[in-house]
Amino acid sequence: MVAFEGQRILPAAKSMKQFEAIIEGPYTYGVMLETHIAQLQSMMDQARRYGKKILLHADLVQGLKNDEYAAEYLCQHIRPAGLISTRASIIQKAKQKGITAIQRVFLLDTHALEKSYQLVAKTQPDYIEVLPGVIPHIIAEVSERTGIPIIAGGLIRTPEEVELALGVGAAAVTTSNDDLIKYLGKTLTL
């Protein structure tokens, strides 16, 4: 299975300006990190008009509680290409509804890593987003131990860090760094 139709960089938007740059840019897939519930439908409609597929961070939708009912609403009415969440109930609902499920895990220490393995075993997401994504040996370990494709995100600031994450087995890298998104859009094969 080729992740995200071969797209290795997933530009992430934290604002409407960044979202508009993504849908007008060369990338097919993008990530919406922060938004308001009132903007969701028009944003998804606009993305579809441009032929874009948006992965929505369900935990960061303002005005929407991040539980399985919110996930059901997002899956049935907003219909993003995927849902990203730290919460097991959202990942399970996304999988149930046939939406790409991305379990986001924060690797703060060994205890957090072990808890993340337990969570992933329970949810069996389609992808795991590992944050921070600048720890190559951990990306490789999580990929090997779980057998689930890894997305590296957080604190990735240079093209070299992107290449390193991809080189150790990340299926893709998320970044909201505008300069990095523009640079990589010109230099990497999408």
User: Which residues pair with residue 36 across a beta bridge?
Assistant: 62
- Residue 184's SS3 state is helix
Euclidean distance between CA atoms 172 and 9, whole angstroms: 6
Among residues of the chain, what percentage have pLDDT more than 90?
Answer: 93
For each of the domains in the chain, give its residue range(s) and CATH number, in order of start: 3-187 (3.20.20.70)
pTM value is 0.96
Q: Judge whether 172 and 14 are in contact, CB under 8 Å.
A: no
- As to burial, measured by CB atoms within 10 angstroms (0-12 exposed, 13-18 middle, 19+ buried), residue 42 is exposed
Walk along the chain (190 residues) and give the pLDDT tens digit of each residue. 679 999 999 999 999 999 999 999 999 999 999 999 999 999 999 999 999 999 999 999 999 999 999 999 999 999 999 999 999 999 999 999 999 999 999 999 999 999 999 999 999 999 999 999 999 999 999 999 999 999 999 999 999 999 999 999 999 999 999 999 988 877 654 4
The angle that helices 88-96 and 110-123 make with each other, rounded to 10 degrees, is 30
Looking up tokens 């300006």, which residue turns up? 17
72 in Cβ contact with 79 (< 8 Å): no
